[in-house]
């Protein structure tokens, strides 16, 4: 697959399930392999929660294929998979800063 000229960062998380038929760690490893197979890069793995950050080529096709993969996992194994675009977060708005 040809690399797109730019990348977008996404956060993929897997909330702790109440019950799951398959080992969640193996599902997470499968998703990481899928990300690499579609031209993405794992940029950070979280230690407090099950999840990681990825850089994906800016391509609707790549993003749609990852969404389909996560939907398939949720349907087949009953484990929730969250995908969100990574962005800057501020605890306070900037009005409190002195000029």
Are 18 and 25 within 8 A, CB to CB? no
Q: Alpha-carbon distance 45 to 7, whole Å?
A: 18
Looking at residue 96, what DSSP letter applies? G
Q: Is the pTM of this model over 0.75?
A: yes
Q: In a 3-state reduction of DSSP, which class is residue 37?
A: helix
89 contacts 14 by C-beta, under 8 angstroms: no
How many whole angstroms separate alpha carbon 7 and alpha carbon 17? 31
The answer to whether position 65 is within a domain reads: yes
Range of the domain at 67: 7-86
Q: Is 98 within a domain?
A: no
Question: pLDDT (tens digit, 9 = 90+) per residue, 21-59?
Answer: 568 889 999 999 999 999 999 999 999 999 999 999 999
Whether residue 47 is contained in a domain is answered as: yes
Q: How many domains does the chain have?
A: 1
Q: Is residue 92 part of a domain?
A: no
CATH number of the domain residue 50 falls in: 3.30.70.80
């Amino acid at each position: 697959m040809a690399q797109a000229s730019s990348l977008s960062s996404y956060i993929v998380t897997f909330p702790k399930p109440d019950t799951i038929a398959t080992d969640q760690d193996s599902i997470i490893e499968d998703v990481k392999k899928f990300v690499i197979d579609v031209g993405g890069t794992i940029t950070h793995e979280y230690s407090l929660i099950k999840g990681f950050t990825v850089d994906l080529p800016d391509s609707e096709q790549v993003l749609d294929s990852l969404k389909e993969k996560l939907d398939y996992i949720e349907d087949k194994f009953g484990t929730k998979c969250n995908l969100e675009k990574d962005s800057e977060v501020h605890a306070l708005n900037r009005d409190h800063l002195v000029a």
